[in-house]
Chain A
Amino acid sequence: MPLTLKLVTGRTIEQGRSMESGGKFSDIYRRAVAVAEMNPKDIEIIGIKDNVKITSVYGSIVVNVKPNNDIPPGTVFIPMGPWANLLTLPITEGTGMPTLKNIDVYVEATSEDATPLDAILRFFGVNKIHYKPAERPLSVGIKRVVYDVPCPFCGEVCDFLTIELDGEKTSRVLNACPIGHAKFMNYYRHRVLTPMIRQESNGDFMEVDLEYALDKAAEILANAKYPLIYGLSSTCVEVTELAVELAEITRGVVDNTTTLCHGPTVLAVQEVGSVRITLGMAMNLADTIVFWGCNPMNAHINHIRRIILPEGRFVKGRKERKIIVIDIRRTDTAKLADIFIQIEPGKDYELFTVLRMALRDYDIEVPSVAGVPREKIYELIEIMRTAKFGVIFFGMGLTQGGAKYKNLEEVIKLVQELNEWSKWALLPMRGHYNVTGSNHAMLWLTGYPYGVDFSRGFPKMIPGVTTTIDLLVNGDVDAALIIASDPVAHFPQKAVENLMRIPKIVVDPFWSLSASVADVLIPSAVTGVECEGTVYRLDDVPLRLKKFVEPPKGVLCDIDILSKLIDRVKKLKGLA
């Protein structure tokens, strides 16, 4: 019997690791993300034997099923990736954030094979896929050890890694999480090493020299009326600064991946402010820690080891800390919690509101809110009120679904009010290693954190209008420059469809899905391995990424590529 369920998408450890080790065209990546996790009860009711067909308003896919007791009945979980994106809703409701969680989907059993990647790309409007990964040549020779290496993967930017090198080959990575380990061990694989442009005659890639590719890219940008510059979160802040300059010259839009992750958090800060800390505050002082709608055990793996377990100055390790996890499913983080509260998908706003009521001693008249019984709510607020120092870490669970930025406004107000009683703070668990930095750089250059438009010569940001998803869905932009990001793998299908219709310049060290469909593809060196640069940790602490290997011959760092591009565009526009 087919059922209507709620689709939730998110990050998993396997998704991250397979992406860094095998690349997005690999079998392990497909196995990691083309899978639907469901409660065994639902599987039984629907009568699924092998595969499942999932249909939303926007599309339909067939994927494998993985039974998982931790997923509550009525919910289906698919890791973020092209498969999930065929189903997600591109509607941003004026927030710039598409709906990526709590989507109504129709689920039925099927004997069809799982949808292959090229079928999905065809659906997006891609006719030819080009994938010519190369391994960068590695010289071996002098053995050396680099200490205190900051890791360019997630917002945590662990800066205590030790890397042992044999010439340019990484032989050992110490202190990293599995994803960080995969990142450093495989940095030489799946690389783009030569610039390419797509031939108009047959749509094939042609290898060209860098100067030619840059000229071509500059031409596209200079001729565009309203180009989009997107990405920037997986490279250093210096690149964001250049991207803003480029947008100002071309009178286009510059946006970073915040638009798709913590955009709503940022909008909420614009409304009510924030109460933030750096990670060391939590380590040294926090005796109560709440993880709300985030799963650091899978997405920020070292977080627990850095913040929860160690002995801080005033808190003696895990035994003196109370861990509370609030989520819609029993995540790996929930398994190590002292208290786990399972809430109904998309009902976070209600729970925050009722917690604020309980804090003010108002009566809660209904027996349960968001699936949480009244007594539990009173108990939770009592724990919060009496904590010595509490921190709420929150994630995509709050931003990508439900009330979006209103959720965040409410949690910030809750924390502000808790400060009347005790000491509380909150921190978003940012995904990309420098998404925070990209926000900061845009702020100091333009006054706005993301989605900045220069069409009238001055910066302006209108969520739901100048944000990437809306610009693409509405077909507003007429060219795109994508830097160190993979929108084809992570945007909802309507946005990708429109992206396919405009000329695209992709600057990336690796073969991503976006790289494979680019019109001009410019290889770059890996920031944090082959290039230096400043990045900002999720708690705004700036760190300097290290360069310990020379970039491959003829491949430049993002900074140099953008500088050259700016020079050329300036010339074409007569501004040099």
Chain B
Amino acid sequence: MTDIIIKNGFVIDPFNNIKGELMDIGISNGRIVDPSKVRESEAIVIDAGERLVVAGGIDIHSHIAGPKVNIGRLMRPEDHYLTNVPSKLPFRRAMTGRTVPNVFAIGYKYAMMGYTLVAEPACAPLKMRHAHDELNAIPIIDKMVFVLVDSNWLALDLMAENRKDLLKIYLAWLLYATKGYALKLVDPGSDVAWMMGRPSLDLDDQVPEYNLTPKDIIRLVGEANESLNLPHTIHVHCNRLGFPGNYITTLNTMKLGKDFALRDRNSIHITHVQFTGYGGESWATLESGGEVIASELNANPYVTLDLGQVTFGEATTMTADAPFEFILYHLTRWKWANADIENETASGIVPYRYRKKSYVNTIQWAIGLEVLLLSRDPWRTLITTDHPNAGVFTDYPKIFAWIMSKSYREKTLKEVNQRALRKCILPSINREITLYELIIITRAAPAKLLGLEDTKGHLGVGADADIAIYDINPRAIDPSSEYEKILKAFQRAWCVIKEGKIVVKEREIVQTIYGKTYSVNPYTAISDDIRKEFEAYLKDRFKRYYTVSLENFVIRDYEIRKLTEVRIKPRL
């Protein structure tokens, strides 16, 4: 692999406290090295020409792989009809799709935007092999997948029997067996109810057939997550998602983080908070709960969150919150897909369009931006669109421009539903995020939250050489007035380097390579005796509940194209 040296670029690297200095970056063997160690005569020299040089972007929550996404593709042929980009072999395969793109469009478009690591946030354990098959096929970017645990009968049995230690070992085994990266809770407990044809649950309702509440589930899984010492926190999609007035449930969920925090860091991640930040009592009286959520976030150090920002336009909602999708189907009355997975979870898919003139959609749009702009800590507020639920990931530059430029916000404010704006404080917010803060939000903070700060999210020596060069000069640009430049620059990076290989050159993909898949393994470090006892218990239950055999459930290392296993030692 040829070494690379990037010269003459303005570097922003919040981890290393570099705020736009003109400096060189050296790359050797896929990692960042001291530039003096690269021999310029033998290396590729990239003259960045005073452009912005940053680490590759990280998306912590984007539905890019797995059974849901694929059924979404199946259900929406109309999504592919007019979005085709022919292949340019042997450099690039054919791209198609917008809200549910094919694997190539996902990998290439993320790379073209300068993103190099994306997390698929939910997959049923039984179908994790499918998620990995798709992740294997996504080019360029690094990826990972979170495993759903909140409605898992095996886990709930252990919770109800109050066998906390065995629960921890079970979750450790599940991550190891499915090659997942983190524990995901979606509308905790509600899919148990859905599978039995009952309505979804609030935080203190009883889970059918179990003497548990969703609050218990969050606490117990959170506690397990912390004592297993997992790199990420629990990733929670709150109860009552999508219902007017649900911000109270969200606040109560955020408060739970304190109960199980064991480590010197935050302990609960609330995802796509826009969908759970609704005030009011009905759709007609919907209000923004953004301000309240932001102030709770500012006061509560245990919480991190991401937005699930609405960007207007076509979307395909897909979530393991099956009961909510059934309700949404009644609003849209077009297509609805549902899939229930034995003993584990369920999911639903409904196509949806966010319209600027809609009262509800305007409030939804405002909530995301309010939360971000009122949050005092860019390290704990991340940008996502919950792709493709609230918008597509290719709309990220729009969000960047909205938060960096009051005048771009005002332009959009004129186009949206005016009645809705009276229920929001967004028009009165003057804050504009700086470029430095944006780089924290899109690079450093997600790397830290995923526990990958050693190699990702920064440009220090030893980090993976995932680098994006954008066509803006940070010293010359005024994002507030030149938002057009922000939109353009972040849509197509000028140059992207992935693990020391140039993949995007002058805004075009120049080669197809495949990135790593991250997984965590807290199981192997557990002592043999405990594992043996657990496996005996598991064997019996598994046989009773599942229609597959235990041996065929476990995903082997060689099934994954480039597995990077993060081994950890649990604190049991």
Residues of A within 8 A of B (CB): 147-148, 150, 159-160, 237, 241, 245, 248-249, 266, 269-281, 283-285, 306-307, 313-314, 388-389, 416, 419, 422-423, 425, 439-441, 443-449, 454, 456-461, 534, 536, 540-544, 570, 575-576
Query: Is there contact, CB below 8 Å, between B556 and A544?
Result: yes
The 0/1 profile, CB within 8 Å of A marked 1, for residues 97-113 of chain B is 10011111000000000
**Contact of A249 with B89 in the complex, beta carbons under 8 Å:** yes
Q: Is B190 an interface residue (CB 8 A)?
A: no
Contact of A543 among B96, B195, B552 (CB under 8 A): B552
- B342 and A542 form a contact (CB under 8 A): no
CA distance A226 to B206 in the complex (A): 60
Query: How big is the B interface, by class?
Result: 35 or more
Q: In the complex, which of the residues B65, B69, B195 has the most CB atoms of chain A within 10 Å of its own CB atom?
A: B195
Q: Is B71 an interface residue (CB 8 A)?
A: yes
- Residues of A contacting B546 in the complex (Cβ-Cβ under 8 angstroms): 280
A444-B103, A447-B100, A447-B102 known, 17 other contacts, Cβ within 8 Å? A148-B549, A150-B552, A248-B89, A270-B74, A273-B336, A275-B339, A277-B340, A277-B342, A278-B340, A278-B341, A278-B547, A281-B342, A389-B196, A443-B73, A446-B96, A459-B96, A575-B89
Indicate which residue in B70, B87, B329 contacts A248 across the interface (CB closer than 8 Å): B87
Considering the chains assembled together, what is the distance between the CA atoms of A218 and B553 in angstroms?
38
| B75-A541 in contact (CB<8A) | no
Given A159-B552, A248-B89, A454 contacting B94 (CB threshold 8 A): yes
Cβ B74 vs Cβ A534 within 8 A = no
Cross-interface CB contact of A275 among B126, B338, B559, cutoff 8 Å: B338
User: With contacts A457-B86, A458-B84 known, is A443 near B339, CB below 8 A?
Assistant: no
Between A and B, 11 residue pairs with Cβ closer than 8 Å are A148-B551, A160-B549, A269-B71, A269-B337, A281-B195, A283-B342, A416-B336, A440-B70, A444-B73, A446-B96, A460-B84
B90's partner among A279, A454, A459, A570 (CB-CB below 8 A) is: A570
Closest to A307 in B: B547
With A280-B547, A444-B103 known as contacts, the answer to whether A542 contacts B137 (CB < 8 A) is no
- Interface positions of B from 539 to 558, Cβ below 8 Å from A: 544-552, 556
Task: Determine the main DSSP class of B at the interface with A.
Answer: mixed
Contact yes or no, A276 B337, CB < 8 A: yes
Does B343 sit within 8 A of A, measured CB to CB? Answer: yes
- Are A447 and B77 in contact, CB atoms less than 8 angstroms apart? yes
What residues of chain B lie closer than 8 Å to A446, measured between beta carbons? 94, 96, 102
B134 at the interface (CB under 8 A from A): yes
Q: For A273, what are the chain B residues with a Cβ–Cβ distance below 8 Å?
A: 75, 335-338, 349-350
Instruction: Name the residue on A nearest B129 (C-beta).
Output: A542
Q: Which residue of chain A is the closest to B337 with respect to CB atoms?
A: A273
When distances are taken between beta carbons in the complex, the residues of chain A under 8 Å from B291 are none
Give chain A nearest CB distance to B268 CB in angstroms.
30
**B79 proximal to A (CB < 8 A):** yes
The answer to whether A283 touches B547 (Cβ under 8 A) is yes
User: Contact at A284–B339, with CB atoms within 8 Å?
Assistant: no
User: Closest residue of chain B to A573, judged by CB?
Assistant: B89
Q: Does B73 contact A542, Cβ atoms closer than 8 Å?
A: no
Q: Is B80 an interface residue (CB 8 A)?
A: yes
Most buried by B among A245, A266, A444: A444
* In the complex with contacts A248-B93, A284-B343, A423-B197, A458-B85 CB distance below 8 A: yes
Give A158 to B93 CA distance when docked, in angstroms: 36
List of A residues within 8 angstroms of B133 by Cβ: 237, 440-441, 444, 534, 542
Question: Are A540 and B67 touching (Cβ within 8 A)?
Answer: yes
Tell me the complex Cα distance, A119–B339, Å. 48
- Given A147-B551, A241-B137: A278 in contact with B94 (beta carbons within 8 A): no
A236 to chain B, nearest CB (A): 10
Asked whether, in the complex, the Cβ of A270 is within 8 Å of the Cβ of B75, the reply is yes
Residues from 336 to 389 in B contacting A, C-beta threshold 8 Å? 336-343, 349-350
> What separation, in Å, do the CA atoms of A102 and B183 have in the docked complex?
52
B102–A459 CB distance below 8 A: yes
Residues of A within 8 A of B129 (CB): 534, 542-544
Chain A neighbourhood of B96, CB < 8 A: 446-447, 458-459
Chain B's nearest CB lies how many Å from the CB of A486? Answer: 26
B127 close to A (CB within 8 Å) = yes
Chain B 180-203 interface mask (CB, 8 Å, partner A; 1/0): 000000000000000111000000
Q: Are A447 and B79 in contact (CB under 8 A)?
A: yes
The distance in angstroms between the C-alpha atoms of A313 and B104, with both chains bound, is 42
Whether the Cβ atoms of A281 and B340 lie closer than 8 Å is yes
By the criterion CB–CB under 8 Å, are A276 and B343 in contact?
no
Tell me the minimal C-beta distance from A86 to chain B in angstroms.
34
Tell me, rounded to whole Å, the shortest Cβ–Cβ distance linking B66 to chain A: 10
Q: How many angstroms from the CA of A570 to the CA of B89 in the assembled complex?
A: 10
Q: Does B326 contact A (CB under 8 A)?
A: yes
**Once bound together, how far apart are the Cα atoms of A340 and B69, in whole Å?**
38
| Given A443-B73, A534-B133, A388 and B335 contact (CB-CB distance below 8 Å) | no
From known contacts A278-B547, A280-B547, infer whether A425 and B340 are also in contact, taking CB-CB under 8 Å.
yes
Say if the beta carbon of B130 comes within 8 Å of chain A: yes
Question: Residues of B contacting A454 with CB < 8 Å?
Answer: 87, 94
* Chain A residues within an 8 Å CB radius of B195: 281, 285, 423
A439 to B74, CA, bound (A): 9
* Contact flags B157-187 to A (C-beta < 8 A → 1, else 0): 0000000000000000000000000000000
- Inter-chain CA distance A388–B127, complex, in Å, is 26
Q: Which residue of B lies closest to A447 (CB)?
A: B80
Could you say which residues of chain A place their CB within 8 Å of the CB of B97?
447
B126 touches A278 (CB 8 A): yes
Which residues of chain B have C-beta atoms less than 8 A from A425's C-beta?
338, 340
Residues of A within 8 A of B547 (CB): 278-280, 283, 306-307, 541
Cross-chain contact A270 with B77 (CB below 8 angstroms): yes
A319 to chain B, nearest CB (A): 19
Decide: A456 near B86, CB < 8 A? Known: A270-B75, A447-B96, A543-B548: yes
CB of B197 within 8 A of CB of A443, answer no
Cα of A241 to Cα of B103 in the assembled complex, Å:
12
Given contacts A148-B549, A278-B340, A444-B103, contact A285 B94 (CB under 8 A): no
Whole-angstrom distance between the Cβ of A576 and the nearest chain B Cβ:
7
Beta-carbon nearest neighbor of A310 in chain B: B547
Question: In the complex, what residues of A have CB within 8 A of residue B77's CB?
Answer: 270, 447-448, 461
Q: Please name all residues of chain B whose beta carbon is closer than 8 Å to the beta carbon of A278 when the two chains form the complex.
A: 126, 339-342, 547
CA distance A541 to B126 in the complex (A): 7
Q: Which 4 residue pairs spanning A and B have beta carbons closest together?
A: A280-B342, A457-B86, A423-B197, A458-B84
- A445 neighbours in B (Cβ, 8 Å): 102-104, 137
Shortest Cβ distance from B339 into chain A, in angstroms?
A: 4
Let me know if A419 and B326 touch, CB within 8 A.
yes
A360 smallest CB distance to B (angstroms): 15
Measured between beta carbons, the chain A residues less than 8 angstroms from B81 are 460
In the complex, which of the residues B100, B127, B339, B552 contacts A148, with contact meaning CB atoms closer than 8 Å?
B552
Are B545 and A447 in contact, CB atoms less than 8 angstroms apart? Answer: no
Decide: B74 and A576 in contact? CB cutoff 8 A.
no
Residue of B nearest to A540 (CB): B67
**Chain B residues whose C-beta falls within 8 Å of the C-beta of A248 in the assembled complex:** 87, 89, 93-94
Contact with A along B231-273 (1 / 0, CB 8 A): 0000000000000000000000000000000000000000000
**Most central of B195, B340, B349, B551 by chain A CB within 10 Å:** B340
